[in-house]
């Protein structure tokens, strides 16, 4: 073992059995560092050096004990952090499960109020997650919008069914009543403490890029991104879907309407990404119709 090092580097004792060993060496002690590296690859001969001494053939017991104590301290501290992290993860999963149960309950209530919205809200989750992904949003953002986009119209549970189901054109008064669903939905989700993203979607998905939407008249990027995403896919699906007051449009017709409304009702960048992937949305509609 001493072939490549000077005589001050000594080997004291060799064990015939094979053991697992972990060592910490300061790389500034270059010769000792290189020696450990060489010995690490010498395990193939099933012999292992027990101790390496630097300088004199001495063994600093106090330093060794300090190292052991420090190592044990780090072990206990790491174990504590790991246990706390696992507990935190369990609590987080429990909270997320509760929140998703609440989302499901609100979706069910919304479908009871308007049975035609059932597949619509399912598709909206799929559309929104797909579009967010194609826009390059974070994984967390994509997953969350794919769970709460379906709550965009939950406020309609507070709207008279006769108005919601009216086959003809709405009066100005009836349309004002319909518009109230965005604020109603916002208040429901806010009190449920589901998520701020859900609140934004419910409240702002009828805002327009040119500032002429409702309920707050927000303009351009002042509209939260999640609401701008849902705005596009909500209109696309509403156009495709047959309702009591209208026939469903073809994919091509719905895409044309959205394209023509780019920069007016919709964020132009989001529309561009939507158009680049239009056939994926058509496929999602057909599979989940």
Domain ranges of the chain: 10-59, 93-287
Over the chain (289 residues), what is each successive 10-residue block's mean pLDDT? 53 62 68 64 41 41 55 66 68 59 58 60 91 95 91 83 80 90 89 85 96 96 97 94 80 96 97 96 90
Question: Residue 10's pLDDT is what?
Answer: 59
Q: How far apart are CA 271 and CA 261, in angstroms?
A: 9
Q: What region, left, alpha or beta, does residue 193 occupy, with left being phi > 0 and alpha being psi -120 to 50 degrees?
A: left
Question: Residue 229's pLDDT is what?
Answer: 98
Question: Residue 65's pLDDT is what?
Answer: 57
The DSSP code for 11 is: E
Residue 248: which of 219, 282, 273, 213 has the closest Cα?
282
Q: Name the β-bridge partners of 248.
A: none
Question: Residue 47's pLDDT is what?
Answer: 40
- Which CATH number applies to 93-287? 1.10.3210.10
243 three-state secondary structure: strand
């Amino acid at each position: 073992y001493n072939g490549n090092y000077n005589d001050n580097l000594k080997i004291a004792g060799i064990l015939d059995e094979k053991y697992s060993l972990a060592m910490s060496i300061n790389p500034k002690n270059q010769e000792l560092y290189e020696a450990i590296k060489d010995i690490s690859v010498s395990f193939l001969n099933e012999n292992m050096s027990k101790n390496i001494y630097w300088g004199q053939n001495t063994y600093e017991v106090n330093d060794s004990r300090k190292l052991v104590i420090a190592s044990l301290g780090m072990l206990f501290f790491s174990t504590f952090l790991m246990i706390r992290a696992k507990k935190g993860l369990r609590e987080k999963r429990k909270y997320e499960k509760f929140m998703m149960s609440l989302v499901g309950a609100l979706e069910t209530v919304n479908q009871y109020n308007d049975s035609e919205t059932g597949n619509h809200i399912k598709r909206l989750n799929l559309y929104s997650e797909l579009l967010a992904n194609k826009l390059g949003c974070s994984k967390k953002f994509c997953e969350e919008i794919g769970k709460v986009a379906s709550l965009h119209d939950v406020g309609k549970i507070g709207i008279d069914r006769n108005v919601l189901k009216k086959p003809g054109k709405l009066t100005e008064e009836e349309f004002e009543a319909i518009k109230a669903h965005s604020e109603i939905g916002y208040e429901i989700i806010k009190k449920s403490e589901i998520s701020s993203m859900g609140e934004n979607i419910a409240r702002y998905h009828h805002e327009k890029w040119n500032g002429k939407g409702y309920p707050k008249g927000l303009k351009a990027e002042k509209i939260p991104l999640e609401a701008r995403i849902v705005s596009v896919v909500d209109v696309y699906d509403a156009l495709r879907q047959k309702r009591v007051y209208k026939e469903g449009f073809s994919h091509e017709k719905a895409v044309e309407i959205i394209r023509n409304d780019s920069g007016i009702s919709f964020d132009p960048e989001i529309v561009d990404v939507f158009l680049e992937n239009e056939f994926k949305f058509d496929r999602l509609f057909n599979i989940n119709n």
